[in-house]
Chain A
Amino acid sequence: MDNVTENEMTLEFLSKSNNEAFARVAVAAFVSQLDPTIEELADIKTAVSEAVTNCIIHGYEDTQGIIKIKCKIFAGSVHIEISDNGKGIKDIEAAKTPLFTTKPNLERSGMGFTIMESFMDDMNVESIVGVGTKVTMKKLIKCNDELCSSIGE
């Protein structure tokens, strides 16, 4: 049973904006083995999209770099780590404040971290200026009892 419920994948791709859709769809496809609801899947896709977009427009700004996604399935929950080697965040608390944005000229709403925080069960940001940023998120996939027990057999 343990090796059925544990799984892991890693993705690396260039910080191009057309990879935003690729990243969220790839993570959603990986998570789908936990049989999430449509709502849970939409929450995960949105959170991934926010994190990847941050790497592209803030981490790497106009330069190009590598974005890495590590995804783990463990005990019915999904752990997602999204990191870049970009410029880093000076003030993480400010960045996490709803409506705070350093790029209002790009019509950014400043809601990225707020959405990640509320759509996932757990969200953590680590960042070193000049080195990079790592966002870690976790979501428990609620189990449909009948379905789960039938899979377990």
Chain B
Amino acid sequence: MNVKYNNEDKLLVLELTEEIDHHSTEKIRRRADYEIQRHMPRKTIFDFSGVTFMDSAGIGMVIGRYKIVSMLGGKVSMVNVKPSIRKVFEMSGILKIIPIEDCA
């Protein structure tokens, strides 16, 4: 995962760079939570451009981070989500609270 933080906008961009499943989410979760707690961003964006596969583990991972970010008063969104991954998110209904934006 590549991390970009813009202090002026308090914007944290987490660029996911691997397939997302039950195995990989553990590591992603740990790193994302560390960055969120370190920066206390106003906005956190998950950039999926490097993600070629995601199963339902990704839903839990994003919702989990959303809970932490919301508690700290921030917002979460996602960008560059491929159709096959969007389909998984659409099933869960989470796009109503965590939107997919057009670009980063």
Which residues from chain A sit less than 8 Å from chain B, CB to CB?
Answer: 17-18, 20-21, 24, 38-39, 42-43, 45-46, 49-50, 53, 56-57, 98-99, 106-109, 111-112, 114-115, 118-119
Contact = CB atoms under 8 A, between A and B. Distances in A.
B55 interface: yes
A115 B22 contact: no
B56 interface: yes
B60 A115 contact: no
B59 A109 contact: yes
Interface residues of B, number: 22
11 contacts: A18-B23, A20-B22, A21-B21, A24-B53, A38-B84, A45-B53, A46-B55, A99-B92, A108-B60, A109-B63, A111-B88
A115 B63 contact: no
A118 B55 contact: no
B63 A21 contact: no
Nearest to A117: B91
B98 interface: no
Interface of B is mostly: helix
| Chain A to chain B: the 5 pairs with minimum beta-carbon distance, closest first | A107-B60, A42-B84, A17-B23, A109-B59, A49-B55
Contacts of A24: 53
Interface of B: 19, 21-23, 25, 29, 53-57, 59-61, 63-64, 83-84, 87-88, 91-92
Contacts of B60: 106-109
A106 B63 CA distance: 12
Contacts of B92: 99, 109, 111
B21 A114 contact: no
A30 to B, nearest CB: 17
B84 A39 contact: yes
Nearest to A28: B53
B29 A115 contact: no
Contacts of B29: 107
Contact of B61 (A53, A107, A114, A118): A107
A8 to B, nearest CB: 25
Nearest to B25: A107
